[in-house]
Structures are given as C-alpha cells and as structure tokens.
Amino acid sequence: MSKFNPFAGGPAYVVALKNALEGQTNNFCEPPRAGGKKQTSIRLDDHISLQIDAISKATGWNQNQILSTFVQHGLFNLYQITDDAVVKKLILDINLNLENMNFANEAKKVISAFIALLSRRNEEIDDWECACLDDAISALREGLPKYALICAQQAMTEKNEQSRDKNYLDIIPKKTKSLEQLKREFEEII
C-alpha cells in the first residue's frame, strides 16, 4: 500500500456524488470543477453511458463533472495500491510538466503584451526587440518555455538598461524580421 497519495486529503467527490444521489443536501454534494484547457474525447459502451446519464439526471451534475469524479476516485485508488517510488516519480513528472505549462503560459502573456505595445508604437521594432522577441518565439516553438519567458522579458528591457557596454549591442543580430512576421509566427504557435 502506498502512503504517498496526491489525492489523499482532497475533496472526496465520490462522496459528494453519493450524497447528491441520495438527496442529502445537508452534506457535501458539490461537484468538482469540470473545466480545463485539455479536452479529451472518449468512447463509452452503452452500459456505462446509460449509468452516467442516469446519474446526471438524478443529481443535476453534468457528464464532465461525473467523469471527473470517477477519474479522481480511480486515481486515488490506484495511488493507494501503487508503490511509493512509482507514485513519486509520476508526481515529479507531472509537476515538471505543470511548471513548464506555467512558464509557457506566462511567456505567451508577456510576448502578447509586448507585441500589442509594439503595435501601438509609432516607430519600428529595433534590433534588440526583434532579436529577443524572435528568440522567445523560437524557444516556445522548441519546447523551452523557461527560456522563452526570459527572452520575452529581456525584449522589454529599456534601451538605457539593455547594456552599459557598447560592444554588447554590436553582438545583437541586425533586425531580420518585421513585427508583422514575428506576430504571425507567434500566432502560429498559440
């Protein structure tokens, strides 16, 4: 039996579903959050599909909330009987993926805001902005979200803060892309 279970101590939505089915409105019967960015399509046999429909009709919960409850309960059960080392490795991988998703989302926000700012400006994009923005977009495309965020933040550096060393500005590649090209490349990956 595993002692490490990431679903332990969280809301027991299967209990909430049971309470909702039994009409125990005085007890916990709130459904889980059923939103998210990832959408998955599954095929269910008629027997399971009819049960989910009947539960939905009886509780007022939508199918997504019911399936989410089943998945969470199933993961809790799986982690209860799986070796701790295996569960910890899975959770480490999941946390790393979540961290990368957060970096990617933050980088996208910064890039989007900077492109909007540059679009409102009455002057052309300079070499520094172009190089940093191009690097940020390329890093996102290559699956390097942390580096993308660093480059995006660097792109917004004030001219007087970019570097005190004049030779430093000489190593920035000369602008090879227009703001519109960078904007199109960014829109392709989001």
Q: Which tens digit of pLDDT belongs to each residue from 64-78?
A: 999 999 999 999 999
Cα distance from N-terminal residue to C-terminal residue, the chain: 42
Residues 17, 91 within the same domain: no
Contact 177, 134 (CB under 8 A): yes
For residues 183 and 96, membership in a common domain is answered with: yes
What whole-number percentage of the chain has pLDDT above 70?
Answer: 93
Q: Domain containing 128: what range?
A: 87-189
Q: Tell whether 5 is covered by a domain.
A: no
Phi, psi dihedrals of residue 122, rounded to the nearest 5°: -95, 15
Is 72 part of a structural domain of the chain? Answer: yes
Q: Do residue 141 and residue 174 come from a single domain? A: yes
> Other CB atoms closer than 10 Å to residue 68's CB: what's the count?
19
Structural domains of the chain, count: 2
Among 66, 81, 96, where does a domain finish?
81
Co-location of 102 and 68 in the same domain: no
Mean pLDDT of the chain: 87
Q: Based on the domain organization, do 107 and 184 belong to the same domain?
A: yes
Is 0.85 topped by the overall pTM?
Answer: no
User: Does a structural domain hold residue 8?
Assistant: no
In a domain, 71, yes or no: yes
User: Among residues 114, 189, 187, 81, which one has the least CA distance to residue 145?
Assistant: 189
Residue 168 lies in a domain: yes
Asked which of 22, 46, 81 is the last residue of a domain, the reply is 81
Q: Classify residue 177 as exposed, middle or buried by CB count within 10 Å of its CB (0-12, 13-18, 19+).
A: middle
Q: Which of 81, 107, 139 is the last residue of a domain?
A: 81
Q: Which residue carries 């999941």 as its tokens?
A: 94
How far apart are alpha carbons 103 and 24 in whole angstroms?
42
Of 161, 187, 7, the residue nearest 80 (C-alpha): 7
- Which residues of the chain, if any, have pLDDT below 70? 1-2, 163-171
Q: Are residues 70 and 95 in the same domain?
A: no
Counting Cβ atoms within 10 Å, is residue 5 exposed (0-12), middle (13-18) or buried (19+)?
Answer: buried
Same domain, 64 and 138: no
